[in-house]
Chain A
Amino acid sequence: MFINWAQGEINLKIVYYGAGMSGKTTNLQFIYARTPPKLRSQLISLKTHQDRTLLFDFLQLEVGQVANLKPKFKLYTVPGQVYYDTSRRLILQGADGIVFVVDSQIDRMDDNEQLWHSMERHLVEMGQDLKNFPLVVQINKRDVPNTLSIPEIRRRLPIKGYPTFEAVAIKGYGVFDTLKASMSGVIAAAHQAV
């Protein structure tokens, strides 16, 4: 969270975290495409070998104000390949909320677990209390073959207690439900902090 008193804005950061090709970029591209241009910045895209890191910020006028400040959200994705650990840590710095995107496919569960644990490790290193951190889970790719059932995914990943949404991000299903839940959690935490 960063308060820009001169602009009367509170800058809040939401990071889409998850394994490579889980749908983080697809989420951001959909949100970007459906946000009126006057409310959003340019989409910045940084290429990695197999993935991209995307970021853009936007004003969300529907969520109200925090201590008379306009909330301005900045959305990020992280590169999902395991070895981009420094990059993920840098992007997580100062995050006010995280959307963890789960790839539902059976053969991606190990990657999901690995990325979940790396997220936990980074948050703990940054002094965050995982129990109270605004974390939302999106279970993506519900439309593809060879997916695990929701109960099985819940058994494999420690997502119990976090708001969870099923999604088909490529078609936009669940994308804004996930984002709204994340923004609500972040705004609630900001109200407590400011």
Chain B
Amino acid sequence: MFLQGSFNTISVAALIQTLCHERRAVQIEAWRTDASAHICLSDGLVIAATCEGTEGADAIVKLMRWPNGLFRVGQLPEHFAPTMAADPESILLEAARQRDEFMA
């Protein structure tokens, strides 16, 4: 583990964008009282995502709706098998769009 904190300090979007900009091969473990999430990043892409029983891009959409939560960032396990390869920017913008339309 090399980084940990709260989503009150850094948003989900900013955390994912920063790590993807750096092209880190990392996993983000996130949790709050009644839920958890797991996001894997490598070479600037989201390569796996789960959140509250949801997988893929929808998992990040769900995670972005958390009002709070904690996270820790660690090294990606060796021989990790990706389940997706998605540009984080598109996912984050799509999540923001869905959130805006949900709130409208």
Give chain A's interface residues, CB within 8 Å of chain B: 2, 4, 11, 44, 46, 48-49, 53, 55, 79, 83-87, 89-91, 93-94
Contacts and interface: CB of A to CB of B under 8 A. Distances in A.
B103 A46 contact: no
Contact of A83 (B14, B92, B94, B104): B104
A94 B94 CA distance: 18
Interface in B53-104: 87, 89-90, 92-94, 96-97, 99-101, 103-104
B25 interface: no
Interface string B1-35: 00000000000011001000100000000000000
A84 B103 CA distance: 9
Interface of B: 13-14, 17, 21, 87, 89-90, 92-94, 96-97, 99-101, 103-104
Contact of B100 (A2, A55, A87): A87
Given A44-B90, A46-B93, A53-B97, A93 B14 contact: yes
Given A2-B21, A44-B87, A87 B93 contact: yes
A48 B103 contact: no
18 contacts: A4-B21, A46-B94, A55-B93, A79-B97, A79-B100, A83-B101, A83-B103, A83-B104, A84-B97, A84-B100, A86-B96, A86-B103, A87-B97, A90-B13, A90-B92, A91-B93, A93-B14, A94-B17
Contacts of B100: 79, 83-87
A180 to B, nearest CB: 25
Contacts of B93: 46, 53, 55, 87, 90-91
Contacts of A87: 93, 96-97, 99-100
A25 to B, nearest CB: 14
B54 to A, nearest CB: 19
Nearest to A3: B21
Nearest to B18: A2
Given A55-B89, A85-B100, 13 more contacts: A11-B21, A46-B90, A46-B93, A48-B101, A83-B100, A83-B101, A83-B103, A86-B96, A86-B100, A87-B96, A89-B96, A90-B13, A91-B93
